[in-house]
Chain A
Amino acid sequence: MSTNIQRPRLYMDEHKLKQDPHDYGLADEPFNLETFKKKFQIVVVKYDGNEMEFDMIGVHPGIANAFRRLMLSEVPSMAIEKVYIYNNTSIMQDEVLAHRLGLIPLRADPRRFLYKTEESGDQGNEHDTLEFELKVKCTRRKDVKDSSNFDTIYKNHKVYSGQIKWLPKGKQSQIFSETDVGCIHDDILINQLRPGHELDLRLIAVKGIGKDHAKFSPVATAFYRLLPEIKLNRRIEGKEAFLLQKCFSPGVIGIDENDCAYVKDARYDTCSRNVYRYPQLENAVTMARVRDHYIFNVESVGALKPDVIFIEAVKVLKGKCRKFLEEIEAA
């Protein structure tokens, strides 16, 4: 990786963040495509199911932030938008029930759907809506007696997301398989019923973006942090070394055979700045963050893989740029 001068830092003092004296901030860095190409780097560090961690190096915070923002609010996903309540005799109010259903993450690739328009009407069509139904009736089990456990005496007293059934619309049954469409988690508790309570609902899911409602956001969260960097200013040994180790996240500070502390790996430090709690350690460490090294964490809700979400975000940005350029040219 590049040298110190090229990697501006932010120093974490006790009470505030301080810039490097030689760092003149971002405004002083004119954008140059060639240097950007050279410096820019994306390294995937971890990819585990719905979670991904990757580094984005050598980029303006505005751009890194744009990706974060787009992933949160402008990458589309499917969610239940309309609930037709034919019967709801449970104690949950219709609005609350509908709200809860809306927040259930759906397994459906939003890229294969269109945004619902006015023309497709209330019910929508096979290209822009998914239809589900939830029909549950709670009954008392006649065979079980002498029990106070609701699980044994009642049938269907808990309504889970797994009970939501997909109703293919038009040719949807040919395009999608049962595994493509449904709820991502089958164990989300939607409601609790008692004997005699009944739910009869038809659910309409549409494509939408997180800006409209948080339920359309494809990520549980997407964020970045700057790469931490820790430097020891003096030799720290013995008891002090162990104290120092405790001030950082596990695995950040190592202690060698001489009971001397060294920085093992600063990457996963939580930057708690807890050394400032001990005056004797205050000046022993310099904690900093690399200003243009972004560690992205994308945690998908499940409909799309995190890398896809990122690529979708890039596409959204591209589209925005294209639209902006068009508007400039048109003017």
Chain B
Amino acid sequence: MGDQTGIEKSWDSDPKAWSKPIKPLEEKWKLVPAFLQVKGLVKQHIDSFNHFVNVDIKKIVEANQTVISDADPLFYLKYLDVRVGTPDIEDGYNITKATTPHECRLRDTTYSAPITVDIEYTRGAQRIIRNNLLIGRMPVMLRSSNCVLAGKSEFELAKMNECPLDPGGYFVVRGQEKVILIQEQLSWNKMITEEFNGTVQCQVTSSTHEKKSRTLVLSKHGKYYLKHNSMTDDIPIAVIFKAMGVTSDQEIMCLIGTDTETQNRFAPSLLEAFQLKVFTQQRALEYMGSKLVVKRFQSAANKTPAEEARELLTTTILAHVPVENFNFQIKSIYVSLMVRRVMTAELDPTAFDDRDYYGNKRLELAGSLISLMFEDLFKRMNWELKMIADKNIPKVKAAQFDVVKHMRAAQITVGLESAISSGNWTIKRFKMERAGVTQVLSRLSYISALGMMTRVNSQFEKTRKVSGPRSLQPSQWGMLCPSDTPEGEACGLVKNLALMTHITTEVDEGPVICLAFNAGVEDIRLIGGDVINNSKVFLVFINGNILGITISYKRLVQAFRMMRRKGRLGPFVSIHTSHTQRCVYIHTDGGRLCRPYIIVTNGKLAVEQRHIEELKRGVRKFEDFLHDGLVEYLDVNEENDSFIAWNEADITADATTHLEIEPFTLLGVCAGLVPYPHHNQSPRNTYQCAMGKQAMGVIGYNQKNRIDTLMYNLVYPQAPMVKSKTIELTGFDKLPAGQNATVAVMSYSGYDIEDALILNKASIDRGYGRCLIYKNSKCTVKRYANQTYDRIMGPVKDALTNKVIFKHDALDTDGIVAPGEMVVNKQILINKEMPAVTSINPIEQSGQTSQIPYTAVPISYKGPEPSYIEKVMVSANGEEDFLIKILLRQTRRPEIGDKFSSRHGQKGVTGLIVDQEDLPFNDYGICPDMIMNPHGFPSRMTVGKSLELLGGKAGLLEGKFHYGTAFGGSKCKDIQDELFKHGFNYMGKDYFYSGITGESLEAYIYSGPVYYQKLKHMVQDKMHARARGPKAVLTRQPTQGRSREGGLRLGEMERDCLISYGASMLIMERLMISSDAFDVDVCKTCGRLAYCSWCHYCQSSANVSKISMPYACKLLFQELTSMNVVPKLKLQNY
């Protein structure tokens, strides 16, 4: 392994440093699958959802546990416990049965579990305890702890019609698979110093369960101010300090810093407070009170502005900094620190924070998003219960007021369901309004589904043209895939996780705080005066809050790391030092990106070969590596505080702290498919990442049981000849999307220009590129309020011939198409009829149902090519209507214009399909399946593709798969040796004969197998032409678009060409005669439109003449007339 000679050379150069040679750890990549078993990829979604369902939901309910009424002081409702059950489905009133995700997919229902609570409340004077009361239904994430799939074996999964390779981590809502995308946002509770419109400012976005607010400290004309949304004006910083009880200037200066420079800089700010005559806390609060934003709804309790300002200062401004009993000490230190940050940044531009730095980012997962939504809904429910109680308790009724009767489960159920299915996350409390949080899981290919689970969506506006947030950040290293991002407007904003990334879930900070105090942190509350600004003292932060100070930060950090490695501290607790800010940051919050590394101490690896052997034998798991302190997780901040070696050769005894587990893990799932990506020009890998998602193949073992709206399958999918470790780890070799085509790199026939491909007809005959396309068609059979219902009628027979009419040819006797039948355009799939009157209009003559008029609403098949009926499903959906789903199938063989792509971002359409005998053949009689033009190589620089071909060819001869793993894989020289051994040219070039002339080709042809993907874009779905066809009703112009059999537009630019050419008659023909020519009568006298040769204005037909004009023009005149604008036409003879 590795570059042996390189290592030896470096020993020679510095033998002392290499007292003991570090042997490369063999097969340390085995740690990657071990990691993927417990963490990574989709596991973070599942972990986060589990955390919500098992921990967070209880905290939320506990925090909002009592409901009291203003009407009755004795009334209360108290939540004792909350649980989320296992998913079930309501089959009729109060009857539930356990369900599986697949059933929900098929029946268009939601895969959800009941949320039950135990409550204690009063009914009159009675105290009642009710257990297991349903308050709503929670959509359950697949493979989460509450899902029926959790911990099931492959066989059990198969019984439930579930693919064992399906990653889970999504929801099934109303039959649709929905993913809550990972949302990227700026870290909360973190000071970020930056320049904004020329002013230096330090901002903090505080976030607690109750409040979210943004506070700024900025410098303006040499003075410092605090800015907050709730205040109309910027408040001078000295006033803020005084309002917080730090009234004397000396105290303020102690907080800010007492060196002369600082004093000079801060003096104007102090002066400002003096000028405002603010000397006392009361005066300062009054000043702030005068600047408050006037609230629209004044709360009931009347408070003075000063009291309100104090309230604001306590709860809203810097909401995350705790204030107990109006003791503002910590908050004042926090504010002083913000001022300090602004000051340093003013003097030293390097002190600015980088917004795009990944240490300053947090990723929000499904769990936290749902928890926000649930909390909102739960609070709303409780508020409504309170309102009901307030309203109903005073009323005297026979039955005593019973809250339970007013608890409606539908509110939470519908709230969660519609949020997930629409993707609109609206939480009024936080003024949060986000659209597109969820997306339908793309099931084009297995990789597209998997890729979607790792997608990270940035909250940044897509339309803004700034490069900062879009460009590759060095701190993304190993956390986010550098290749996988879309092109175009979302470029760099939508990202994907790398293979080994894990997103942390929240850990309780209490024990961590205790440890910090034990490790030599002095509580900030016990510190006064100038100490915090001492240059030897380091401030200690925990989750953005000031915890205390320390003099020996190294000891603190060391203690923390030691405890973590010994397993006494959560593995995701991170600690890092910022030397410029003289701070130690401890983080235990959720949403941080982190990644495991092998620990290196004094140039020695913690992981030894025997550990790997134990792993291989299965006696050691990834967790054991963590517990034994061999491997640890580093988040972005701590990663930047470490010295990480890329491979064993890079380890230096004095500096290196960690070793990369495997370099290929820095790529994501999609980029991991590319063989030899490190030999390709980087955009090519990005292109492949986008195209891998459009490739067809196998989407899961359960694909035959699914009834999707659209599914593309390959008839004979193959695992690639050149694999990568990622392919094996993600299971792509089990659910492949492509075929190995024997490619000859040469030009042929001229139909291969511009990346077009030549295909071998015999290969196609034998099944290359053959694909199946499944579509579905569905309808519901409803019951209406007026006792009428939809019906399905059998096929209609022709009265004369007594044969079933053409439209009903495929129908079975029950009026639904029979499986196996072929349907062509306009044939009917379900012969449904609907009652003409469905509104509430009770039918008098009950029993005479036959007289109800019905209108036919058949579901018919549309498409130029026929389809076959794969299967028909009849079931009931959530609303207890009949649900009929029909799966339609088409088999297609490749044709000219179908799109193919290799795994190197080299896409092309089929240019020509050539008979086998016309294709070149080599000394072995091999004809290529595909010919690719060599011009595709020089400008694209996809050397990886050449290597894939070579590796594939050698693999065929040797009967094995070669590896093209990133930063590794089979060496070119080894592959060449193999080819050599088997009597093939070592450069992969073969002697070919022309199939047409029979002569030898002058050049040797580079040929061998390359994995090609068939992409979903096929001519059959795109081809369109029209000579005549439908017209739009309003304008009488041809309709738009292929689906409506629309016309082909002669646009402005084409029109300009015709004008400049002077082809006026052609313009007339195209724009009017062939479009919407219309004969109108025009009155020459008044210039208005006339009707039937009669001018209504002139009351005569004397001067009316007939002209042709576009109907749209006539329409415009009429519309103008309706607005009291009179268009007049002047007619002239010519």
Which residues does A use to contact B, with CB under 8 Å?
10, 12, 15-17, 26, 61-62, 64-66, 68-69, 72-73, 85, 88, 91, 93-96, 99, 103, 210-211, 213-215, 217, 221-226, 246-249, 270-274, 277, 289, 297, 299
Contacts and interface: CB of A to CB of B under 8 A. Distances in A.
B1052 interface: no
Contacts of A69: 917-918, 995
Contact of B916 (A73, A94, A271): A73
14 contacts: A15-B1003, A17-B1001, A93-B772, A103-B767, A210-B917, A213-B765, A214-B766, A221-B927, A223-B921, A225-B991, A225-B993, A226-B1000, A272-B985, A273-B985
A62 B985 contact: no
B917 A61 contact: no
Q: At the interface, is chain B mostly helix, strand, loop or mixed?
A: loop
Contact of A217 (B762, B997, B1003): B762
B765 A215 contact: yes
A224 B917 CA distance: 12
Contacts of B658: none
A61 B916 contact: no
A62 B998 contact: yes
Contacts of B889: 93, 95
Contacts of B767: 99, 103
Contact of B770 (A91, A99, A226, A272): A99
Given A93-B889, A99-B715, 8 more contacts: A17-B991, A65-B995, A66-B998, A95-B868, A210-B916, A225-B991, A272-B980, A272-B983
B870 interface: yes
Given A223-B921, A272-B986, A61 B1004 contact: no
B891 interface: yes
B510 interface: no
Contacts of B770: 96, 99
Contacts of B868: 93-95
B915 interface: yes
Contacts of B921: 223
A129 B628 CA distance: 75
Nearest to A60: B998
Given A214-B762, A270-B984, A274-B980, A93 B870 contact: yes
Contacts of B761: 214
Contact of B891 (A96, A217, A247): A96
A72 B916 contact: yes
A248 to B, nearest CB: 8
Q: Which residue of B820, B868, B983 has the most chain A CB atoms within 10 A of its CB atom?
A: B983
B474 interface: no
A145 B870 CA distance: 34
A72 B765 CA distance: 14
B12 interface: no
B704 A12 contact: no
Contact of B765 (A10, A214, A272): A214
B73 to A, nearest CB: 68
A73 B1004 CA distance: 26
Q: Which residue of B762, B986, B998 has the most chain A CB atoms within 10 A of its CB atom?
A: B998
Contacts, number: 108
B980 A277 contact: yes
B980 A96 contact: no
Nearest to A65: B998
Contacts of A26: 999
B983 A249 contact: yes
Interface in B39-92: none
- Interface size range on B against A: 35 or more
B324 interface: no
A73 B1002 CA distance: 26
Interface string B1072-1101: 000000000000000000000000000000
B343 to A, nearest CB: 69
A15 B1004 contact: yes
B394 interface: no
A179 B576 CA distance: 83
B1062 interface: no
Interface in B745-765: 761-762, 765
A297 B925 contact: yes
Nearest to A224: B993
Interface in B176-227: none
Contact of B917 (A62, A72, A248): A72
Given A95-B868, A214-B765, A73 B915 contact: yes
B923 interface: yes
Interface string B1001-1014: 11110000000000
Contacts of A65: 993, 995-998
* Nearest 3 CB-CB pairings of A with B: A65-B998, A223-B925, A214-B765
B704 to A, nearest CB: 6
A69 B1004 CA distance: 22
A88 to B, nearest CB: 8
B164 to A, nearest CB: 17
Contact of A16 (B715, B762, B999, B1002): B1002
B208 to A, nearest CB: 55
A156 to B, nearest CB: 20
A193 B568 CA distance: 55
A91 B925 contact: no
Nearest to A248: B983
Contacts of B1002: 16-17
A26 B761 CA distance: 30
B210 to A, nearest CB: 56
B917 A68 contact: yes
Contact of B1004 (A16, A99, A247, A299): A16
Nearest to A59: B998
B741 to A, nearest CB: 16
A251 B999 CA distance: 27
Contact of A96 (B715, B766, B915, B1003): B715
Contacts of B715: 96, 99
A22 to B, nearest CB: 18
Contact of A289 (B704, B915, B1000): B1000
A222 B998 CA distance: 13
Contacts of B1000: 10, 17, 226, 289
A208 to B, nearest CB: 11
Contacts of A249: 983
Interface string B811-841: 0000000001000000000000000000000
A99 B770 CA distance: 10
Contact of A91 (B704, B986, B991, B997): B704
Interface string B880-905: 00000000010100000000000000
A247 B985 CA distance: 9
A34 B1104 CA distance: 92
Interface in B897-932: 915-918, 921, 923-925, 927
A262 to B, nearest CB: 19
A71 to B, nearest CB: 9
B759 to A, nearest CB: 13
A223 B991 CA distance: 13
A201 B998 CA distance: 43
A271 B923 contact: yes
A61 B991 contact: no
A91 B889 CA distance: 13
A16 B998 contact: no
B762 A274 contact: no
B923 A85 contact: no
